[in-house]
Amino acid sequence: EDQVTQSPEALRLQEGESSSLNCSYTVSGLRGLFWYRQDPGKGPEFLFTLYSAGEEKEKERLKATLTKKESFLHITAPKPEDSATYLCAYTNTGNQFYFGTGTSLTVIP
């Protein structure tokens, strides 16, 4: 069964303490792996799309990478405003997304 698993469920970091969030997947025919940021009470905001193993994308303090079995969201020198839930999702048909349960990140000043 296709699925995506995110870890850890929750992560607390001191401001400036770099870390990584993991998204592992068992999907046949993966066409895209997506990262979203969701703030409390709001809809998810698109961050990155990764299409093939070895691909990397960066945006400010965030860097997403993709291997054949997992994706990482690296957060370098995080700030309190990076606190949010980070969701990963995949598509194999191009018509629907399947979401993980998310990692709740808290960055402490």
Partner 1 sequence: DGGITQSPKYLFRKEGQNVTLSCEQNLNHDAMYWYRQDPGQGLRLIYYSQIVNDFQKGDIAEGYSVSREKKESFPLTVTSAQKNPTAFYLCASSASGTAFYGYTFGSGTRLTVV
Rounded Cα distance between 13 and 2, Å, is: 31
Beta carbon of residue 14, minimum distance to partner 1 (angstroms, whole number): 26
Q: Which range binds partner 1 by CB under 8 A, 20-28, 31-39, 55-63, 71-79?
A: 31-39
In the 8-state DSSP scheme, what is residue 94? S
* DSSP-assigned letter for residue 16: T
Q: Report the alpha-carbon angle 56-61-65, nearest 5.
A: 20
Near partner 1 by CB under 8 A: residue from 100, 103, 105, 107: 100
Residue position matching structure tokens 């965030």? 62
Hey, which residues between 52 and 81 contact partner 1 (CB under 8 A)? none
Of 21-29, 32-40, 56-64, 70-78, the window that binds partner 1 (rule: CB under 8 A) is 32-40
Distance CA 73, CA 58 (A): 10
Residues forming the site for partner 1 (CB under 8 A): 4, 31-32, 34, 36, 41-46, 49, 87, 89, 91, 94-102
